[in-house]
């Protein structure tokens, strides 16, 4: 992001200074300061906190200053989602974040709207916001890490779009897509490859080919919430 360079220079810092603050290499900061840089959300949060602005403001300054065709932000609230609309379909979406340390707390309080509203929110830059509720999750474990561009490694943050648990009964387009499953005993990230013959369970697949990661079924009545993974930050 070129805007990071502007913020750094206003503070009289060089790239090495910022790298030390964020805890990354000089080369990494050089990459971060390029236009359209893909910055992991955790480090983006550190940069935003250091400069005392939000992640959303970083994105908004970037698109507005590097492309004059974007208009100013417009706030919106839909299905519990808070965000900023930009021209050309760009949206900065502010969603509740469930870190790995909060997985159990979400399971225990899944029906408590006040608990979800009280979660820390992070920003994702997306093209389109559909009519659904969104949440972000930290992925725990490497079951979905096969080393390819589709991998979702341990510690990745993913943006999930809430989906009905019975969607697989009538919508085949969901098959083979990655999902976050909020179950009665845990939160997992899996690729759902279908439903059981009796239509009472979701067939879950791990991308990691290691023998310890085998396919299994999760009874639908054990799934509290289902979220299609629409974006990831690693």
The more confidently predicted of residues 85 and 28 is: 28
Q: What is the pLDDT of residue 206?
A: 96
How close are the terminal C-alpha atoms of the chain, in Å? Answer: 17
Domain spanning 1-70 has what CATH number?
1.10.260.40
- pLDDT tens sequence across 110-124: 999 999 989 888 888
Is the distance from CB of 189 to CB of 158 less than 8 angstroms?
yes
- pLDDT band (50, 70, 90) for residue 17: very high
- The rounded distance, in Å, linking the Cα atoms of 122 and 144 is 23
| Exposure on the CB side of residue 135, measured as CA atoms within 13 A | 27
Q: What is the average pLDDT across 116-142?
A: 88
pTM, entire model: 0.74
- The rounded distance, in Å, linking the Cα atoms of 213 and 231 is 23
Q: What percent of the chain has pLDDT over 90?
A: 47
Is residue 228 pLDDT above 80, yes or no?
Answer: yes
Most confident of 53-62, 63-72, 222-231: 222-231
Work out whether the CA dihedral 1, 88, 130, 170 comes out positive or negative. Answer: negative
- The rounded distance, in Å, linking the Cα atoms of 125 and 1 is 13
- The rounded distance, in Å, linking the Cα atoms of 135 and 229 is 10
Is the distance from CB of 187 to CB of 122 less than 8 angstroms?
no
Q: What is the pLDDT of residue 70?
A: 46
- pLDDT band (50, 70, 90) for residue 199: confident
- Domain spans, the chain: 1-70
Is the distance from CB of 229 to CB of 188 less than 8 angstroms?
no
Q: What is the pLDDT of residue 219?
A: 95
Work out whether the CA dihedral 113, 115, 117, 119 comes out positive or negative. Answer: negative
- pLDDT tens sequence across 22-39: 999 999 999 998 876 778
Q: What is the pLDDT of residue 26?
A: 93
Q: What is the pLDDT of residue 56?
A: 62
Q: What is the pLDDT of residue 73?
A: 61
Is the distance from CB of 25 to CB of 19 less than 8 angstroms?
yes
Work out whether the CA dihedral 66, 64, 76, 43 comes out positive or negative. Answer: positive
Backbone angles phi, psi at 179, to 5 degrees: -140, 155
Which residues have C-beta within 8 Å of that of residue 87, sequence separation ≥ 6?
69, 70, 71
Q: What is the pLDDT of residue 131?
A: 83
């Amino acid at each position: 992001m070129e805007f990071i360079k502007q913020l750094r220079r206003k503070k009289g810092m060089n790239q090495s200074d910022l790298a030390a603050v964020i805890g990354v290499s000089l080369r990494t900061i050089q990459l971060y300061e390029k236009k359209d840089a893909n910055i992991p959300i955790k480090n983006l949060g550190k940069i935003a906190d250091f400069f005392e602005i939000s992640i959303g403001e970083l994105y908004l300054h970037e698109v507005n200053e590097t492309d004059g065709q974007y208009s100013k932000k417009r706030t919106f609230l839909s299905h519990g989602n808070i965000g900023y609309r930009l021209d050309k379909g760009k949206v900065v979406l502010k969603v509740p974040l469930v870190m790995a340390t909060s997985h159990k707390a979400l399971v225990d309080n899944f029906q408590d709207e006040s608990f979800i509203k009280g979660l820390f929110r992070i920003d994702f830059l997306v093209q389109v916001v559909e009519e659904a509720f969104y949440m972000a999750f930290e992925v725990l474990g490497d079951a979905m890490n096969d080393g390819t561009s589709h991998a979702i490694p341990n510690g990745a943050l993913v943006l999930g779009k809430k989906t009905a648990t019975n969607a697989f009964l009538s919508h085949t387009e969901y098959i083979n897509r990655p999902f976050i499953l909020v179950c009665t005993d845990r939160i997992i990230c899996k690729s759902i490859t279908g439903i059981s013959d009796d239509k009472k369970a979701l067939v879950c697949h791990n991308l990691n080919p290691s023998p310890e990661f085998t396919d299994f079924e999760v009874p639908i009545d054990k799934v509290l919430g289902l979220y299609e993974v629409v974006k990831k930050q690693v």
